[in-house]
Structure 1
Amino acid sequence: MYYKQIYLNIIKIKYKIMIAVCENNLLRYLNNNNNKMNTMRIKLRAAPVATIITSLLLSGCYKDGFTISDVVIKPIPKPEPLPKPESVLISPSPLMEETWNADRGFIDFFSPQTDSEVDRYYPKTTSVAYRWNWAQIEPNEGVYDFTIIENAIEQAKQAGKKISFRIMAQGYDNDWGTQSDLPSWLTNQIGKFKIDSVGNHWVADYSDITFQQKYSDLFRALAQRFDGSEDIIHIDVGAVGMHGSWSFNSNPLTNYKDLFNDFNNIKQIPVIAKSHFKKTPIITSLETGAEQFLLSGISAGTGWRADCLGGIYGSKDIVNDVYKPLIANLNNTTPEFSQAWRKAPVVMQVCGGFPYWKTSGITTEDAKAYFDFALKHHVSSIMFTGNEVPEIYRDIVKSASTHMGYRIELLSASILDNIPSMQSDYTIDTTWANTGSAPYYKSARLSFRIKDVNGNLITGKSTSLDANEIQPAEIYEAGTIEYRNNTTLQLRNLEPDSEYKLEAAFIKIDGSPAFTISSDLENNDNWMTISKFKTKSNKYKTIGFVWHLGQSLFFSDFIILKHVICITKFNIFLLVT
């Protein structure tokens, strides 16, 4: 840019002729001024070129009648180097409040929570859980009606939430007008039977080959429409048992194993569901008497669900008397179970709502112990029936809401400030951690961008660091695992003495930010502003000549003439920057 401004036009002069003329003029000048040359100090680099320039200048001035007093030879100052940007290390503080990110947190049942409900000390929810019967989705064989699912998604989106759902395979004597029954076309093929101890509850033979083939067809159709949907946080395998609980009114499946043609073959149900959903997480139930079916799903890549967190039935504490020994046994016999949370979510449920806890005599110490149990087992979400949280539990519920699921934090960033506007790149070194209880189970890559004060995009880049790689510690609250990323952004078109901002987000495949980063830094539409920086001017405080002939050269000395008409005569320009 600068060399183009300084140009010596000697293209029309033949090189050899020019050398001869210039050397002759220079010798003639030196012979005539021999007594004055002791005061001159000529140190020239690139001798032939220097000879040309010096000869041209001196011979030109000599012809115009100037004397040596008109010529001053001074050493050329070296150009100042480009100013270096300033490196700054920042360590943001994490948000001390909940981040209302989807795919984590409390889940409502059946309808989105309203603002008035939140005001009445409901725990704020991020998603809504639904249960539908098979007959509602496939009223006729091979004819699928997803209207009810799509309507639920739309209703949830309007409330800023996502959904989860399960498809149940059960029926009742009283249909209640909601198609809560097995599809008649299916029972015409394989029949149905009543569980005597449950009363009006009808089921099919889950082990039947025809049942499983039709169930696979259903999930194939569901996956074709909804797998990878950003509106669905997970799908619960709810084909087995009452309400899809993998039990019959809290009675283990094993109590009814003789009713099924091949009881062990029920283990194919979660495998079938997972085989069709490659992107959207699948979970299945942790239930006494159904462990082998859960483990079959875990091996296929499903997560798990535990109902009735804090549930007390008579003298039985579900967490302490059921889940703790059940999980301990699974961890000891099947190590794969203890690591299932790394691949798919762990979801729990509060049966009866939080007022039920109070009427059941659950103390604040009990409540904290239940949530600690959930967090220790890497819970992502907790379902509950919408109702107020009694005051004695509110702080505990808020703390659980803050820490459950993923919580991606920026621990530190090495950034630049006072950047020369000619700077060609910007390197940022960042350190991240997941201080929550569970991973982020989808894909979202760390990305950076630089914008000017008017919001115009200057540059941006997506890195190789995916949010799902930023894992929490194996043992909850036992420290964090740090993940470092070093990224260089290519700069262009930076204006001197201007302000820019560097932003970061984890970006989904559609280009939008996936979630809010847990940080006290400025956040706009889930783009976190890491820094605001200024550019410096690139001015050189140097006066000199530059000669451009195919390439640009700087000279050790340069000549300043008092009468610059002698210079312009040769089309030599003086650069002052």
Structure 2
Amino acid sequence: MKIFRRVLICILSVMMIGGTVSAVGCSTTEESLTDPQFVHVYPQKVTGHLSNPGMGWVGIEETINYGQVEVGGAGNLPEVDVVSIESTWNYLEPEKDHFDFDLMDRTIEYWTGLGKRINFRIMTDMLVLGFTWNGAPEWLINDPRVGYEVIEFDQPSEYRPVNSYKAANLRSAYYQERLGIFLDKLVEHYGDNEAVDVVEIRGYGNWGEWHSGINFNTMNERITTLTQIVDKYAQAWGETGKVMVVSASWDPNIVNYYGDSYEAYYRASIYDYIVKQENMTFRRDGAGGPLFMEQWEGRLLSDFVRSGKRLPLYAEFSLTAAEMAAANENDYNFENAVNHMLFKNRPNSCSVIGWNNYQAAWMIRDGQTLPFDMGNEMLGYRISVDEARFQKQIQPGDSLDVMTKMSNSGVGRFYFNDKLKFYIVDEFGETVATAVNPTADIRTLMLGDSVEYHTQVPIPENLADGTYSVQIAVVNEAEQPHIKLAIEGDHDKKIYKLGSFEVRKGSGTKVQIPEAKLSGEELEKYVFDQNSLYTVSFDYLPKFDLQNFDFGNYDGYAIRLKSSDGAVNQIIEKFQDVSGEKGTKTVQFATGNHSDYHLSIVSENFGEIEIDNAYVRKEAAGNIVSFNGGKLGKNSQFSGTSIASISDENAIRGDSLIIAGESTGHVSAATYNEALKPNTTYTVAFNTKTIKDVGIGGYMFCSLDSGESKDVFKWYERPDTPMTYQQFTFTTGSTGGKLSFGIHNRGTYAVDDFVIIEGYSGEIGKVQDLGFKHNVMPAFEDRMGQVEGFEDISLMKTMLDWGWNRWGQLTRDPEKVISGESSFLGKVNKNDSAGEFMEFAYSSQNFIRFEPNTTYRIEFDYRIVQDPKNEAGDGGYFYFLVRSGEMFEQSGAAADIGFTMFASDSSKPVGSVQHMTAEFTTGNASDFKVTFGQRYYGEIVIDNVKFSKV
């Protein structure tokens, strides 16, 4: 085992600056490291729900029919930060060139009024949900210039008349023309809406999920058509800056027609084309485990993250996943399902568990809050300052040198092109100076990255002596604070105090930073000392052409440590960055006994790279462990359990620490034996490689064991991913502790070149707990005796619920409405059911509760729009009845009471407004509801409903 037991260096950094030598004092192994010339601050990461733009749980609003939106009907869901507006082209352009955005506008206005962000989930191909069928408009599908293909369902359904649906001919030039017009109208209406973060490209396949769509004759025809659809979206939305997202779902047609391989998967669905488009990324529909195709979709998402494209990923927690998790079988439960989604999808946002808002609300009401809390602590980005360092004292007219070590403890990516801004603030809270770092780009920070940014903040020459604070914010293009950082502070203001320093005139020569600052050329020539531990940061400009990117490419930019004698040629990190924009990297490494060590940062078949603004710092205290020839035990650097070993089999290089877990649960495997100091901050870096994949909800972790075990870092990589470089920073508590590696839910991985660096003593921040707010269902008052006029856009707030398969809705058509602006509409199309009797409305037990053995009166106005008929032309009727679910289960329809049927006749013609009054007496049950239905397919409007006790 190669060990630097404690690297103690009296001169931390020696630089010739104006003929002087800057030095920092020493420490012993027992003492904390002290730095008399610099302030060191260690903010601690917040816990709880950190809400920020472009991330979080996503609630779904199906803005398809009036009445079927929720808009707070089940509560305002504080767990949710984003609302996905789901609709279809068919509903938004019901007639050619007639566009209706009213319901979407009302729904968006409601949720943005509560501070939620918006995703667009608008289907332009198909949306088969039973109560809705077309994504593309019916008038367009039936146009002979377009046409359609009939596609069979995989499984029959009791409420569908036929097991097939129409898929528009996407190849049609006229279809493509009309798609472009529709998208342009969407952009005209919503393109400037700053609350809209994401536009999903749902232009092919059922639910727009890029699968189960029309069949193509050739691979070329498929690729050409899908490319045309993507291009239409790019042309419409490209200049808005919105993120455009394509489902990365697996299409069974790929296997049927194009072969069973990773390459066939991404080429046939043009994912290799999409990844090269500006502002385009991917989402996984059906995340959470059971529908996840590890060999294809999982690999594509992993390849995308590794590419360095500065956009996030997105996810959907499928209803199937929720149902399986609720069953809690075979290690599949809500906790594992959420972890599976987090670590294998790495999304910024994910649709709520249970699919719809009200289903999520029911879960929360029933105490299932943990899955939502877990997501709100790891979805998206959680950008933190792990250390800040600056001079303790400075003269007016000099620049304060601020080093900020930053990381991201979320699984997703920050993707706004923001900057770091620093504020110098006096004791009265007035800002006296600011500076923006022009090169710091925190979009590169992913889980496992730790980067040091160096910023010079000019101090005004006329600034009075006194104590001033340094504060930081992530600012937008207008230099306004944009996001909340994951550290203690004022999260409303979004500006965070790092620490304080003194301004004193005549205080002497400015204290220089402990790093050697080098150009890229100087870094290439820089000679590192023997047997020393270093931290090196540098800016880079990748010149890889995104158009040359391909999935499955493991080339990249290599950071190598070399010795001039050729004996050392070690990869510290290999990374990809296809962005073409500047970034910053920080690495830690140790030299050995060889002479003339150099750092080489070169492209390995991945385009050129430019290096600049390098900072080289020799560390004062730390340790590195490589495992060649080592053993695990109390007298070694690491000890281990039976699932840990040191082996050359599957090693990263030479021998590596191997952790192989075969059981479920959270298992620590290998412990770093050196006791860590109390109240001390450490930075850890290591190389790792996954050998055998984890189980459902699995991940790798490092924990701090100090009486109780607490995870300080969690990560996951696929077995087909090359070696990765992981970094994290943590602070011990009052008892210190020991650091351990472990595995959650099986899996095998290797660790090598473990580096741990002790930080200087300084101010340790507090852990701020933001907590979790949980949804509260609305208080439903008794509305017995009141008149329901259906003036809200959500049926969840009225006395009637929609019926089976969401056949009930509201209408605002002035030719149908009975009174006010809207009325209840009962309408069943022949596409929607194969049944004879169809229930389209139920009295809501939230507002109407019938007592046992009691007589009630029901009154309502109605207008028959179309008499019910079946396909043979046989006449039907409308009806209502009163049913107890409990009694119906025991006795069937014989237990129903108050059955009343009605239809049009000469005295009650179609289109006229009629009034109905009836009485009924409940039986010996407390769950009675009034059911409205129709025999065969018809259309009726109901309004001014009143239930009263007789």
TM-score (norm 1): 0.64
Partner of residue 296, structure 2:
326
8 Å CA contact 2:133–2:165 kept in 1: the answer is no
Residue 488 (1) aligns with residue 462 (2): no
Give, in whole Å, the separation in 1 of the partners of 2:101 and 2:427. Answer: 46
8 Å CA contact 2:381–2:412 kept in 1: the answer is yes
Residue 232 (1) aligns with residue 209 (2): no
Partner of residue 249, structure 2:
287
After superposition, the Cα gap between the structure-2 partners of 1:211 and 1:344, relative to the gap in structure 1 and judged at 3 Å, is farther
- Gap runs ≥5 in structure 1: 1-84, 312-316, 474-478, 541-577
- Offset, 1:418: 5.3
SS in 2 for 1:190: coil
SS in 1 for 2:422: strand
SS in 1 for 2:486: coil
SS in 1 for 2:438: strand
- Offset, 1:511: 3.4
Alignment of 1:347-426 (within 5 A): 347-352=314-319, 356-362=323-329, 366-374=333-341, 375-384=343-352, 385-386=356-357, 387=360, 388-389=362-363, 394-417=369-392, 419=394, 422-426=396-400
- Offset, 1:330: 5.1
Residue 98 (1) aligns with residue 49 (2): yes
Partner of residue 297, structure 1:
274
Superposed CA offset, 1:205-230 (max 9, x none) = 11222222332333344445655753
Residue 434 (1) aligns with residue 408 (2): yes
8 Å CA contact 2:283–2:314 kept in 1: the answer is yes
Residue 267 (1) aligns with residue 226 (2): yes
Give, in whole Å, the separation in 2 of the partners of 1:465 and 1:419. Answer: 24
Partner of residue 182, structure 1:
137
Give, in whole Å, the separation in 1 of the partners of 2:39 and 2:71. Answer: 44
After superposition, the Cα gap between the structure-2 partners of 1:468 and 1:410, relative to the gap in structure 1 and judged at 3 Å, is closer
After superposition, the Cα gap between the structure-2 partners of 1:209 and 1:466, relative to the gap in structure 1 and judged at 3 Å, is farther
Pick aligned residue for 1:527 from 465, 483, 495: 495
Give, in whole Å, the separation in 2 of the partners of 1:116 and 1:454. Answer: 46
Aligned residue pair count: 430
Superposed CA offset, 1:90-147 (max 9, x none) = 11111122311121121111178859847xxx67111000112214444565665555
Residue 205 (1) aligns with residue 156 (2): no
Give, in whole Å, the separation in 1 of the partners of 2:331 and 2:363. Answer: 12
One-letter code aligned to 1:297: I
Give, in whole Å, the separation in 2 of the partners of 1:180 and 1:253. Answer: 12
- Offset, 1:468: 4.7
- Offset, 1:159: 0.9
Give, in whole Å, the separation in 2 of the partners of 1:340 and 1:144. Answer: 40
- Offset, 1:195: 3.1
After superposition, the Cα gap between the structure-2 partners of 1:197 and 1:415, relative to the gap in structure 1 and judged at 3 Å, is same
SS in 1 for 2:194: coil
One-letter code aligned to 2:443: E
8 Å CA contact 1:284–1:294 kept in 2: the answer is no
Give, in whole Å, the separation in 2 of the partners of 1:99 and 1:109. Answer: 20
Give, in whole Å, the separation in 2 of the partners of 1:150 and 1:455. Answer: 41
Partner of residue 911, structure 2:
none
More helix by share: 1
Give, in whole Å, the separation in 2 of the partners of 1:450 and 1:115. Answer: 47
8 Å CA contact 2:83–2:116 kept in 1: the answer is yes
Partner of residue 58, structure 2:
107
Give, in whole Å, the separation in 1 of the partners of 2:100 and 2:389. Answer: 53
Residue 216 (1) aligns with residue 180 (2): yes
8 Å CA contact 1:500–1:532 kept in 2: the answer is yes
Give, in whole Å, the separation in 2 of the partners of 1:202 and 1:481. Answer: 51
8 Å CA contact 1:413–1:431 kept in 2: the answer is yes
Give, in whole Å, the separation in 1 of the partners of 2:472 and 2:95. Answer: 49
8 Å CA contact 2:315–2:347 kept in 1: the answer is yes
SS in 2 for 1:89: strand
- Offset, 1:364: 6.3
Give, in whole Å, the separation in 1 of the partners of 2:307 and 2:202. Answer: 19
Alignment of 1:339-350 (within 5 A): 339=306, 342-350=309-317
SS in 2 for 1:233: strand
One-letter code aligned to 1:495: A
One-letter code aligned to 1:214: R
One-letter code aligned to 1:93: Q
One-letter code aligned to 2:370: D
Give, in whole Å, the separation in 2 of the partners of 1:469 and 1:173. Answer: 37
Give, in whole Å, the separation in 1 of the partners of 2:47 and 2:400. Answer: 31
Pick aligned residue for 2:436 from 456, 462, 469: 462
Superposed CA offset, 1:406-456 (max 9, x none) = 221112111345555x45433322121222222212211111122334443
Higher relative contact order (CA 8 A, sep 6+): 1
- Offset, 1:518: 0.8
Partner of residue 157, structure 1:
112
8 Å CA contact 2:473–2:495 kept in 1: the answer is yes
Alignment of 1:532-547 (within 5 A): 532-533=500-501, 535-536=503-504
- Gap runs ≥5 in structure 2: 1-35, 62-68, 154-161, 255-264, 509-950
Partner of residue 306, structure 1:
284
SS in 1 for 2:384: strand
One-letter code aligned to 2:179: Y
TM-score (norm 2): 0.40
- Offset, 1:88: 0.5
